[in-house]
Amino acid sequence: MQAKPCVLYGAEISYFTGKVRAYLRWKHIDYREVPADAAVFKEIILPRVGFPVIPVLITPDDVCLQDSTEIIDALEARHGGPPVYPDSPRQRLAALLLETYGDEWLVIPAMHYRWHHNRDWAMQAFGALSAPGASPQQQLEIGRRRAEPFAGAAVLLGAEPHMHAAIEASYEALLRDLSAHFERHPFLFGSRPSIGDFGLIGPLYAHQYRDPKSGEHMRRVAPRVAEWVERMMSPAPLQGEFLADDALPETLIPVLRRMFAEQLPVLQDSAARVREWMAAHPGETLPRAIGMHAFALDGCEGRRIVRPYSLWMLQRCRDYYLSLGGPERAAVDAMLHAAGGDRFIAFEDPPRLARAGLSVRPAPSS
Ligand SMILES: N[C@@H](CCC(=O)N[C@@H](CS)C(=O)NCC(=O)O)C(=O)O
């Protein structure tokens, strides 16, 4: 009897579904994708997960996995094959950092471009996902209601009107840096995609490639990035290698530099606030957002919600970094210095965190 496929509940318009789908395709894991319409949320996602979210993956032995990072890690452990985690220190740390950057920071341009340049299209697409059998007019109405919190989240994540130009300048500079990289390498670390590539594909597929105006913009100003998106979404048969000898392409240094300059100050301040919050609420699960803080982009200052979950993602990078000693630590520190990552070296970790749905709680041992 043929083994049952995994079932991926998600959507073409969803950031993290794109990440998991690209991974499943690259690994040639047998899966079936089911659009998360209203019935799927009611009958599967809410009962199995407890809150509305996509993507959700059900394995052939009926284990329910939620959160793209945990889905990928569980499948890496079950399926073997070429790992998406490089095993050499510089490449592995850079891959983890770029996953965190894609997941938790590029959500700012992704949400900005979707809700401020593709709004009507996105409302319609939300409606079509939720009620596939409804008329286009009904879909638009349903989409407006369903998309309301997401459209509002663009502003809460930092895309207030006075920040729009800075968000676009920063994103276009990233596209230039990535174009220079993909001129030389098919993926971030060679001819095989890594967890860093899967982190970046979240924003760069569903929002920045597939939303019509953003896709037209990407194909026009950064065709090499658009080609990488296409490689990521329909990968060739399993093949390819990470560069030998832990080589870190010099074209990735500007990408890491941008992450350290933009995201790290926010993560540092988030850590201080999470530390304070945990001291004031011992043992409690943190809310998804704990107030607002300032952030800077391209010389402009904005405000955004403080997201404890981002620190759970960073903790994966920090755990790996802190596990390194001797020459490996020295090699990684040299890379971090070269990319302006001294804030990462000196990062003051908050108490240990465990994931709790879309937020975090104190880890059981702390
Ligand atoms: N960090 C999670 C986040 C999942 C997530 O944010 N999914 C979005 C759609 S792409 C969602 O369903 N959000 C619902 C919400 O934020 O309430 C992951 O890696 O899967």
6-79 architecture in CATH? 3-Layer(aba) Sandwich (3.40)
At 294 the pLDDT is 98
Ligand 1 atom closest to Cα of residue 53: 12
CATH code of 90-246, in short, is 1.20.1050.10
Where in the chain are all domains bearing CATH 3.40.30.10?
6-79
- Span from the CA of 67 to the centroid of ligand 1 (angstroms): 7
pLDDT > 70: what percent of the chain?
Answer: 99
List pLDDT tens digits, range 230-260: 999 987 777 899 999 999 999 999 999 999 9
Where in the chain are all domains bearing CATH 1.20.1050.10?
90-246
Is residue 14 within 8 A of residue 202, CB to CB? The reply is no
Tell me the mean pLDDT in the region 283-294: 97
Q: Is residue 266 very low, low, confident or very high in pLDDT (cuts 50, 70, 90)?
A: very high
- Using most ligand atoms within 8 A of CB, pick from 12, 54, 314 the residue to mutate for ligand 1: 54
Q: Is the pLDDT of residue 165 over 80?
A: yes
Enumerate residues lining ligand 1, CB below 6 A. 14-16, 53-54, 67-69, 103, 358
List pLDDT tens digits, range 7-62: 999 999 999 999 999 999 999 999 999 999 999 999 999 999 999 999 999 999 99
Tell me the mean pLDDT in the region 195-207: 98
Which residue's CA is the nearest one to ligand 1's atom 20?
A: 67
